[in-house]
Amino acid sequence: MSEKNHSWGAGAATGVGSMPGQDAREAARTVTGALEALPHLPELPARGPGADMVGRTAGMLAEVYAHVEPSGWRISDRPGRDTRRARSWLGEDLDALEEFTQGFAGTLKVQAVGPWTLAAALELRGGEAALSDPGACRDLAASLAEGLRAHLADVRRRVPGAAGVVLQLDEPSLPAVLAGRVRTASGYRRHAAVDPGVAQEALREVVAAWDGPVTAHVCAPGVPFGLLRRAGAAGVSFDLAQVTERDDEAVGEAVEGGTALFVGAVPGVDVPLSDPASSVMGVRTLWRRLGLSPGALAESVVITPACGLAGASPGYARAALAHCVRAAKSLADDPE
């Protein structure tokens, strides 16, 4: 992996994105305090529509707008109240992050919904998902790429001392898109499976919008490691519990090709937390099963919660992030 992709250093930990509560300053304080090497821009979906991951990303789009319908987010002709609210909350979150990263010199991670999960979630004017229209999918990918360029430039201006900015594309629906499992608006049919080559090209366009490392987060079973690597992703983020021995070859090829693994090894909802070293036992087991060098473990793996922490209590969210840091350190201290 290139030095750019390793800017967070060995034995790093980070969050996936969402946090509990509605206080942007408290979330930024928690994340930057716990995750000194690789903090992330918190998302607070408890605030309501526009703070959810789809609405937040819809507010970033260039020359494409959306509003809330009872069925979800729908593409609009012009920006309205929902777009303004999404942008306002993002601005509030960025203000808080800027405040708590004064003098920060580590690597920062920001998140946005990827083009295929966005196409599966955003409705066209008739109520069907954008996924039903190949032209709409292409337009969304182009709009997302342009919007992310502006967003990431703003982040870089606000945190000028950061060693790098990592873009995470959230693609929980990608396996379902590729397998033709996304239901139509009626619920009686499913949208046709998207050709892997088409999916890869749209992802590549969005990945190319940023000159820093891009990771793809897929918390569902069937993570398409190879497709994401070919699309240019420098890292793949996943829930360790969703990866089975059937994925071994793809995971091994990803690591050998220089792809970082952002491994969701700590539960994202309130549970008693075990010893940090025990939390990453599954990571060590996977590594041994793949026959990979123990010395490369801490360099290749970043420890995260299994998914976002929006459903956790504030106290557990703080504890889980601190636990991720200690678990990652245990991998660095004892890769065997």
At 282-309, the pLDDT tens digits run 999 999 999 988 888 989 999 999 999 9
Q: Is the pLDDT of residue 1 over 50?
A: no
Q: Is the pLDDT of residue 5 over 50?
A: no
Backbone angles phi and psi of 237, in degrees to 5: -105, 130
Q: How buried is 247 (Cβ within 10 angstroms: 0-12 exposed, 13-18 middle, 19+ buried)?
A: middle
What's the confidence (pLDDT) of residue 293? 87
Residue with tokens 């396996």: 175
Closest CA to 307 of 246, 218, 230: 218
- pLDDT, tens only, 178-197: 999 999 998 899 999 999 99
When pLDDT is cut at 50, 70 and 90, the band that residue 2 belongs to is very low
Q: What is the pTM of this model?
A: 0.95
| Across 90-112, average pLDDT | 96
- pLDDT, tens only, 142-187: 999 999 999 999 999 999 999 899 999 999 999 999 999 999 998 8
Both tokens of 38, joined, read 């690789």
Closest CA to 247 of 233, 268, 261, 230: 261
When pLDDT is cut at 50, 70 and 90, the band that residue 6 belongs to is low
Rounded to whole angstroms, the Cα distance separating 151 from 23 reads 21
Locate the domains of the chain by residue range.
Answer: 3-333
Considering the segment(s) 3-333 as one domain, its CATH architecture is Alpha-Beta Barrel (3.20)
- State what percent of residues in the chain have pLDDT above 70: 98
- Cβ count near 2 (within 10 Å): 9
Lowest mean pLDDT, pick from 7-16, 136-145, 215-224, 300-309: 7-16
Lowest mean pLDDT, pick from 22-26, 134-138, 224-228, 270-274: 270-274
| Across 265-285, average pLDDT | 93
What's the confidence (pLDDT) of residue 3? 36
Residue with tokens 């519990």: 241
Q: Cβ(270)–Cβ(310) under 8 Å?
A: no
